[in-house]
Structure 1
């Protein structure tokens, strides 16, 4: 992941809405890719399983945009799980990118402030 930038976004606990409402914090890692022109870069079932098997991983989304840009979003129980997953996530990202012939553009980490899915 030499070429990719890594940024970590975490808000002060005193400003976090999760603290106000007594909810647990969740964190996310967002990786941006440029797949080869004839590919989407979608992860294999094995790659998804490896990610979901990491301790503290809550889920994964993979998004593709027609201008040949894609994002993976992984969700983590807490900041400790996010930090603890970095080395393995970096390895999986590098291996998958090589297999899929895609460039890693950026990796960012965020605190999730809102998490709602309509049932």
Structure 2
């Protein structure tokens, strides 16, 4: 907990004030972009992902599922313009995951498909 003598107190107050000025749609889309970026790397879409050991489909599955839940739940509130872009990115990641998988999931059982429906 911050006290007036705490050197971090000003930072916390500034951060709270800054986040208070940010619209919910911006916070949601920023979180979604972070999930997308991490999932893309884990799916092997980064230039040197496989050589650098970043390819990790177990981690990618978790990230894509979290992204699908966020996009599906927030779509009515963030508007079609934002939701459409996020859905497109999500679908691309789901397809990239399928392509990277040695043993593909059955239709409807891939990452996030319980929220989005089957992606083929």
TM-score normalised over the length of structure 2: 0.29
Greater gyration radius: 2
The structure in which a higher percent of residues are helix is 2
The structure in which a higher percent of residues are strand is 1
Ranked by relative contact order (alpha carbons within 8 Å, sequence separation 6 or more), the top structure is 1
TM-score normalised over the length of structure 1: 0.29
